[in-house]
Amino acid sequence: MTDHKPDARTCLQPAAECDVGNPVEWMVDPDHPDKILGVTYEFCHTGTRKTVWYTHNKRRAKSFVVVDVN
């Protein structure tokens, strides 16, 4: 028996199937604009959007300002 691990590149999905999320909105603290509370990502193939919160409880912040990336 060999202890061979496959190359990580062979385990990845083909590029056509990879749905990459690009940031389209940033949610920042209104009192501290340098503090990011969340980011909304839009996925290139499906067009769906998902918001990820970077708060302590990983939930939507009570107060934030939305900054559009465009």
**Residue at 47: amino acid letter:** G
Q: Please name the residue that has the structure tokens 């496959």.
A: 6
Query: How far is residue 49's CA from residue 67's CA, in Å, rounded to a whole number?
Result: 15
Digit-by-digit pLDDT tens for the chain (70 residues) are 566 666 655 655 566 678 889 999 999 999 999 999 999 999 988 999 999 999 999 999 999 999 998 7
pLDDT tens-digit readout, 34-50: 999 999 999 988 999 99
- pTM exceeding the 0.85 threshold for the entire prediction: no
Write out 17-30 in H/E/C secondary structure.
Answer: HCCCEEEEEEEECC
Query: How far is residue 63's CA from residue 29's CA, in Å, rounded to a whole number?
Result: 7
Query: How far is residue 13's CA from residue 65's CA, in Å, rounded to a whole number?
Result: 36
Domain ranges of the chain: 20-68
